[in-house]
């Protein structure tokens, strides 16, 4: 992807590309703190940078501060400490506050926020007040054609599907050619069957526009599908940032691992470089002798067999749920307080299987130091 760090104001309106692309910028949050009132910090020292042209997903549970961080970037919320920089230029800090309309940052809201009594074209040209009427119309039509909806220019929002309305909202945010686009849970209002195609279309449009994008979501799979990198927040703190593979394969702690998949969790103690669990003994490299650790086994790491085999653990079937290619198996294992959950290949066990053996793919076992946050 071609990347440039020229901001729109630096590029000037006269040098706009006829292809209608933005000039991607670097957006940096530097040690952002925020509170809505005494004693309750919403954000605690968040530092993360969206690189030019990158799609960065802000992921985290409800209330972790994702929307507040996005609103601070847009200039509709003010941090209590820290700075926001666009291409290394401070746009919000102790002595600087660039108003929202001067930031070259576009916003797509969760509910799309289209005006019901405006045509699609008028919705899209709403923010193009600095242009003449004919220029604004041309720019709005360019943005609409980029999302494949120019034929709906004269329609009103209510006749469009949820996915089409989302594309209008995207066109409206892209029309002023922002350097950075912020999207707050942009797919949450969509039917689950529509989501996949709208996500793919949105990603293609973002790539084509070359704007830097920050997408807020609480859905780990969505973040993995959309983000070049993912920044995971918890209770107002940044827990880990990196590409999806990194967060999945090398999670910083149990919280990160648990956000990306369900886990079977066992407490244990490191002895001779490994730890005993109800599912067998696993290596614990890097841990000290007698150190308390937490072992996490993903359901996908579990294999089920009807006959005894080396290294497998005896178990009794509690329940099985058919999912098509796979099934979810719950089994009782001696020494485990909770049933062990496995995601196993359909057909691995016969319908009548009761007493079974479970083995674990060791490469899919994660060991963490046992700390309060991992409890
Ligand atoms: N206007 C407000 N006044 C007081 N507290 C607020 C306000 N807006 C948000 N909060 C609180 O700030 C915290 C962070 O909210 P925020 O909306 O940023 O989280 P989030 O991660 O985006 O959550 P969600 O996924 O539910 O939207 C929450 O505890 C929330 O209750």
pLDDT at 12: 35
Calpha distance 224→108 (Å, rounded): 20
pLDDT at 352: 93
Q: Is 104 in the pocket of ligand 1 (CB under 6 A)?
A: no
pLDDT at 82: 97
CA distances, 79 to each of 27, 71, 156 (Å):
15, 10, 38
CATH for 20-255, among 3.10.20.310, 3.40.190.150, 3.40.50.300, 3.90.1150.10?
Answer: 3.40.50.300
Q: DSSP label at 307?
A: S
pLDDT at 370: 86
Asked if 205 contacts 156 with a C-beta cutoff of 8 angstroms, the reply is: no
Ranges in the chain, pLDDT < 50: 1-20
The alpha carbon of 159 and the centre of ligand 1 are apart by a number of angstroms equal to 32
User: By alpha-carbon position, which residue is closest to atom 2 of ligand 1?
Assistant: 36
User: By alpha-carbon position, which residue is closest to atom 17 of ligand 1?
Assistant: 67
Q: Is 87 in the pocket of ligand 1 (CB under 6 A)?
A: no
Helix axes 192-209, 162-174, angle to 10 degrees: 20
38: number of Cβ within 10 Å:
6
- Encode 2-36 in three state secondary structure: CCCCCCHHHHCHHHCCCCCCCCCCCEEEEEEEEEE
The alpha carbon of 243 and the centre of ligand 1 are apart by a number of angstroms equal to 26
CA distances, 40 to each of 46, 78, 92, 224 (Å):
15, 15, 22, 30
Q: Which of 38, 57, 60, 68 to mutate to test the pocket of ligand 1 (most atoms within 8 A of CB)?
A: 68
pLDDT at 106: 87
User: By alpha-carbon position, which residue is closest to atom 5 of ligand 1?
Assistant: 36
Calpha distance 70→312 (Å, rounded): 48
Domain limits, the chain: 20-255, 262-374
The ipTM estimated for the assembled molecules is 0.95
Q: Is 36 in the pocket of ligand 1 (CB under 6 A)?
A: yes
Give the model confidence (pLDDT) of 73-122 as tens digits.
999 999 999 999 999 999 999 999 999 988 889 888 777 678 889 999 98
Calpha distance 228→148 (Å, rounded): 24
Q: DSSP label at 83?
A: E
The alpha carbon of 115 and the centre of ligand 1 are apart by a number of angstroms equal to 25
The alpha carbon of 292 and the centre of ligand 1 are apart by a number of angstroms equal to 35
Q: Is 115 in the pocket of ligand 1 (CB under 6 A)?
A: no
Calpha distance 228→250 (Å, rounded): 16
Asked if 302 contacts 287 with a C-beta cutoff of 8 angstroms, the reply is: no
The alpha carbon of 70 and the centre of ligand 1 are apart by a number of angstroms equal to 11
Beta bridge partners of 130: none
Give the model confidence (pLDDT) of 232-276 as tens digits.
999 999 999 999 999 999 999 999 999 999 999 999 999 999 999
Calpha distance 256→248 (Å, rounded): 8
Read off the tokens for 110.
Answer: 């969760």
Q: Which of 29, 36, 43, 184 to mutate to test the pocket of ligand 1 (most atoms within 8 A of CB)?
A: 36
Calpha distance 308→198 (Å, rounded): 47
Q: Which of 307, 22, 260 is nearest to 146 (CA)?
A: 22
- 3-class secondary structure, 91: strand
pLDDT at 164: 85
The alpha carbon of 258 and the centre of ligand 1 are apart by a number of angstroms equal to 22
Read off the tokens for 183.
Answer: 């999207």
Q: What is the dihedral of CA 13, 184, 26, 173, to 10 degrees?
A: -10
| Domain at 262-374, CATH homologous superfamily | Nucleic acid-binding proteins (2.40.50.140)
User: By alpha-carbon position, which residue is closest to atom 30 of ligand 1?
Assistant: 63
Which atom of ligand 1 is found nearest the CA of 64?
21
Asked if 83 contacts 47 with a C-beta cutoff of 8 angstroms, the reply is: no
The alpha carbon of 320 and the centre of ligand 1 are apart by a number of angstroms equal to 38
The alpha carbon of 67 and the centre of ligand 1 are apart by a number of angstroms equal to 7
Q: Is 64 in the pocket of ligand 1 (CB under 6 A)?
A: yes
Calpha distance 349→10 (Å, rounded): 64
User: By alpha-carbon position, which residue is closest to atom 25 of ligand 1?
Assistant: 62
Q: Is 178 in the pocket of ligand 1 (CB under 6 A)?
A: no
């Amino acid at each position: 992807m071609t990347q440039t760090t020229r901001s729109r104001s630096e590029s000037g309106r006269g040098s706009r590309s006829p292809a209608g692309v933005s000039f991607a910028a670097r957006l940096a949050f530097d040690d952002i703190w925020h509170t809505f009132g005494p004693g309750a910090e919403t954000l605690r020292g968040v530092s993360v940078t969206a690189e030019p042209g990158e799609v960065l997903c802000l992921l985290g549970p409800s209330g972790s501060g994702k929307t507040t961080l996005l609103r601070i970037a847009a200039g509709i919320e003010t941090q209590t400490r820290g700075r926001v920089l666009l291409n290394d230029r401070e746009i919000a800090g102790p002595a600087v506050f660039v108003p929202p309309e001067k930031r070259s940052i576009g916003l797509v809201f969760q509910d799309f926020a289209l005006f019901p009594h405006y045509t699609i074209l008028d919705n899209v040209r709403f923010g193009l007040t600095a242009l003449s009427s004919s220029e604004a119309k041309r720019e709005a039509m360019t943005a609409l054609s980029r999302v494949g909806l120019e034929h709906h220019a004269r329609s009103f929002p209510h006749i469009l599907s949820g996915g089409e309305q989302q594309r209008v909202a995207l066109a409206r945010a892209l029309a002023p050619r922002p350097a950075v686009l912020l999207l707050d849970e942009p797919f949450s209002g969509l039917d689950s069957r529509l989501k996949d195609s709208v996500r793919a279309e949105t990603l293609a449009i973002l790539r084509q526009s070359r704007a830097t994008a920050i997408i807020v979501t609480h859905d780990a799979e969505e973040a993995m599908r959309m983000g070049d990198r993912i920044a995971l927040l918890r209770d107002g703190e940044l827990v880990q940032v990196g590409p999806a593979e990194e967060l999945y394969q090398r999670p910083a702690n149990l919280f990160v691992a648990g956000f990306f998949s369900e886990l079977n969790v066992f407490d244990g103690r490191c002895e001779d470089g490994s730890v005993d669990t109800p599912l067998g003994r696993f290596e614990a490299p890097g841990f000290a002798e007698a150190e308390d650790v937490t072992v996490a086994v993903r359901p996908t790491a579990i294999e089920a067999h009807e006959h005894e085999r080396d290294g497998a653990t005896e178990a009794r079937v509690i329940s099985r749920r058919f999912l098509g290619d796979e099934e979810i198996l719950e089994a009782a294992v001696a020494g485990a307080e909770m049933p062990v959950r496995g995601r196993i290949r359909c057909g691995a066990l016969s319908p009548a299987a009761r007493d079974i053996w479970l083995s674990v793919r060791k490469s899919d076992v994660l060991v963490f130091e046992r700390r309060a946050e991992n409890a």
